[in-house]
Amino acid sequence: MSKRVFNQIKDLVTEKRNPDTFDIDTKSTLQILKLINKEDKKVALAVEKELPHIAKAVDLIVDALKNKGRLFYIGAGTSGRLGVLDAAECPPTFGTPPGMIRGIIAGGRRTLVRSKEGVEDDFEAGGKDLEKNKISKKDVVVGMTASRRTPYVLGALEKAKKVGAKTIFIFCNPISRHKIRASQLKTKVDVAISPILGPEVITGSTRMKAGSAQKMILNMLTTASMIKLGKVYQNLMVDLQAKSEKLVERSKRIIMMTTGVDYKEAEKYLERAGGKVKTALVMILANMDKKTAEKRLKDAEGFVAKAIDYQE
């Protein structure tokens, strides 16, 4: 069994030695940091090449969420933690219901703060964890693994396909010299996203460049999806949940920047709108009461700009 895994990983780009960092252990602190920074600069360029595939993934996610589906991130180790993090940040930032975007990590919640080796090797566990969340054909599952071979993630993707859910696979190793296509994967997926980053600074430490690339991609997936779902007006997060002092004050500032009212007026309208920035904006910019503003927003599918200019 160990030989099989050895053969799987020996030729992976993420497991190769980086020729530019062979002597990193002899460098000064500043030289070490320069080497790390030099490699990090490659991440955004690698992600840029995957933008057409990321765009397809966003469209799948938007379609699912519009039709009462959910978005699942599933991964092991660093990949799993990044998925849980992105999912956790969506409700306060975009006002999404807690169950709409979910992160699942191999080994469960405890592995978020303490690594548990071996859980990523359980192929069946990935599918079972999706079953626990009542995965359905309405949903989208994003599997994440730097290596592309993690059994836990592949098992989850296979389960998702069986129930008819859309599947997105993020990994950081090429399958061949040719352009990567989903059809080349053993597990057939709807969209494959594969930024090729080269060897890590420290061989096999995929929490570095591979982790950074995955974080950037997840930021794109949810941010672009939320924009297309009407949760952003201009470049402002107008669907945020004002449940802390900072977010309440940010809400007032958004209203002030957008409408030109002063602090007291922004506070007054935010209170009248029940703490909802979108409603307050429509009330001010379209000169209407709360009830009418809420109806306008509903008719405009949540888009502030459309609600302001809405024609009966």
Average pLDDT of every residue of the chain: 90
Same domain for 117 and 8, yes or no, is yes
CA distance 72 to 143: 8
Average pLDDT in the 41-56 region? 97
Q: How many domains does the chain have?
A: 2
Whether the pLDDT of residue 177 is over 50: the answer is no
Exactly one of 39, 120, 158, 200 is catalytic; which is it? 120
Structure tokens at 147: 């290596």
289 contacts 283 by C-beta, under 8 angstroms: yes
Is residue 267 among the annotated active site residues? no
CA distance 19 to 71: 39
**Final residue of a structural domain among 228, 251, 281:** 228
Q: What is the model's pTM?
A: 0.89
Higher pLDDT, 205 or 120: 205
Q: Which domain holds residue 284?
A: 232-308
At 21 the pLDDT is 92
Same domain for 243 and 128, yes or no, is no
Whether the pLDDT of residue 186 is over 90: the answer is no
229, 279, 240: which is closest to 259 by C-alpha?
279
pLDDT band at residue 178 under the 50/70/90 scheme: very low
**Final residue of a structural domain among 213, 228, 243:** 228
CB atoms within 10 A of CB 182: 17
Same domain for 173 and 264, yes or no, is no
Same domain for 203 and 247, yes or no, is no
Average pLDDT in the 27-51 region? 97
Residues 6+ apart with CB under 8 A from 46: 195, 196, 197, 213
Whichever domain contains 164, its CATH number is 3.40.50.10490
Same domain for 241 and 182, yes or no, is no
Exactly one of 15, 89, 249, 265 is catalytic; which is it? 89
Is residue 120 among the annotated active site residues? yes
Tens-digit pLDDT profile for residues 105-124:
998 888 888 877 778 778 88
Same domain for 215 and 252, yes or no, is no
Average pLDDT in the 33-40 region? 97
Whichever domain contains 294, its CATH number is 1.10.8.1080
At 109 the pLDDT is 86
At 294 the pLDDT is 95
In the numeric block, the tokens 């190769």 are attached to 16
Same domain for 87 and 220, yes or no, is yes
**SS3 label, residue 1:** coil
